[in-house]
A and B are shown apart, each in its own frame.
Chain A
């Protein structure tokens, strides 16, 4: 039995025990709120996704078969809710754009080679830098953004991420590589300029 199952009883949850459901909500609301906020970039939308995720979970607990862990199942619901809301907000982004994005490999070859990694952490994580980090993640196509959030921010394994998104592990690895490279490229431009300014002082 995993630690997670020991912590929250699936049996009680399936029996409709409200106290146990409250424990489940308490345990995962922080992570799911963070996921929704990073996906949508807007606290009100993030709150909607969070509420809908737990409402869906409550309605479908009886059907949960335990093929993945409870947490992966919750991440799966939250990811679907967030992606649905993004598509509702931006119906102009056609599926064909996403497919052509997938086939465009040239965009992912590194072009920034400034070594900014040794900048002090207070500079790398200043309020201005945090805004840039947020903007860069919002600029990622959502099919890459969700993979990066689940794997690198929430710390799911490749297998868990593939279960949460119903994609093959190969597809997850490809999207993760592209997400990471694109973010690195964008933030390298910004930190590279910072480094330049420092050396001119």
Chain B
């Protein structure tokens, strides 16, 4: 981040989560987008932050409880009568 932009870059960092989660007012969003159009480093941080969250979500979606673990769980809880095998 360049020294000229330092104040805006720091301000962006403070609002980063709310911006990425879409929780900011339209006015603040516009201010941030104006800054992003002028500051390459911040634009990269925002873009790759979005992508980071996306990659974790996407890779976790494919994690499923293994069948054996599910069976042992139902057994440990004494509800194996209700275990519908998949």
* Interaction A to B: yes
Number of interface residues of B (CB under 8 A): 40
B64 at the binding interface (Cβ < 8 Å): yes
**Number of inter-chain CB pairs below 8 Å:** 114
A9 at the binding interface (Cβ < 8 Å): no
Residues of A with C-beta under 8 A to B51: 116-117, 124
Complexed CA–CA distance, A114 and B45 (Å): 9
B73 touches A51 (CB 8 A): yes
Could you give, for residues 1-29 of chain B, a 1 whenever the CB lies within 8 Å of some chain A CB and a 0 otherwise? 10000000000010011101000000000
Show the binding face of B for A, using Cβ within 8 Å: 1, 13, 16-18, 20, 40-41, 44-45, 47-53, 55-60, 63-66, 69-70, 72-74, 76-79, 81-84
Show the binding face of A for B, using Cβ within 8 Å: 18-19, 21-23, 25-26, 29-30, 33-34, 37-38, 43, 47, 50-51, 54-55, 58, 109-110, 112-117, 124-125, 129-130, 133, 137, 148, 152-153, 155, 173, 176-177, 180-181, 183-184, 187-188
Extra contacts besides A51-B73, A51-B76, A184-B45 (10): CB < 8 Å: A22-B82, A23-B82, A25-B73, A34-B63, A43-B69, A124-B51, A125-B59, A130-B59, A152-B57, A184-B52
9 inter-chain pairs at a CB distance below 8 angstroms, sorted by A residue, are A22-B74, A34-B60, A37-B63, A50-B69, A55-B76, A133-B55, A153-B57, A183-B56, A187-B52
